[in-house]
Amino acid sequence: MNPSFKEKRRANKDPLPYTIYKGIKGKFGAVRFSLKKAYTDRRGESSKEEGCVFLDTANPKVSSYDWVNKITVKLDLSDIGKIIHAFRSRVASEKGVNIYHDKGKGTTKEGQEIKTINIYRSPEMDNFLLTIKENKFGKEQVVKTPISPAEALVIVELLQTAIPLVLQWCDSGKGGVIESPEGTDGNYSRQW
């Protein structure tokens, strides 16, 4: 019996992505967070010095989502911190939090491939609105996804958990478990 895709990922300890689907029949899209952990090769040399989190968004199609034409944003630690702050802080979320990426910044291609993330919480509503825009060589694509408070809580928890894995501050070979120091009562243990 061949193992399924999910079984292979679990065997390799690759985290599964967290995906939120909204409104196939409507105007809202889907959003997916994927963790790419930092890792060390067998010789003990770092093969990927720093991991990251990818944020993918896709607009709805007739009966699914257009993942072929998705927008992908590579989130660094600063971006992760801004997203956590946006979902946690009422002041930040009501004013909106913006993240700006220019792939060609500092080169002759500056301004040709721009991606922006906006997280906004309406004072009248309890939901957040996550808007991702991509302007690629003058062609703009926009994906809007409402995020419930419960979904925002999951995103915050996942992003907080991702930070030590992105920086290799925990032993990901043990499945992300940081052991309690010897001689303690075990209160320092946290599992990722």
- Coil, helix or strand at residue 144: strand
Question: pLDDT for 8-66, tens place per residue?
Answer: 555 456 688 999 998 766 789 999 999 987 766 666 555 556 788 999 999 998 788 99
What is the residue whose two structure tokens read 């909204």?
A: 22
- Coil, helix or strand at residue 113: strand
Q: How many CB atoms within 10 Å of residue 35?
A: 21
CA dihedral 46, 11, 160, 181 (to 10 degrees): -70
Fold of 5-191: Transcriptional Co-activator pc4; Chain A (2.30.31)
Q: What is the residue extent of each domain of the chain?
A: 5-191
Question: pLDDT for 92-111, tens place per residue?
Answer: 667 789 999 998 788 888 88
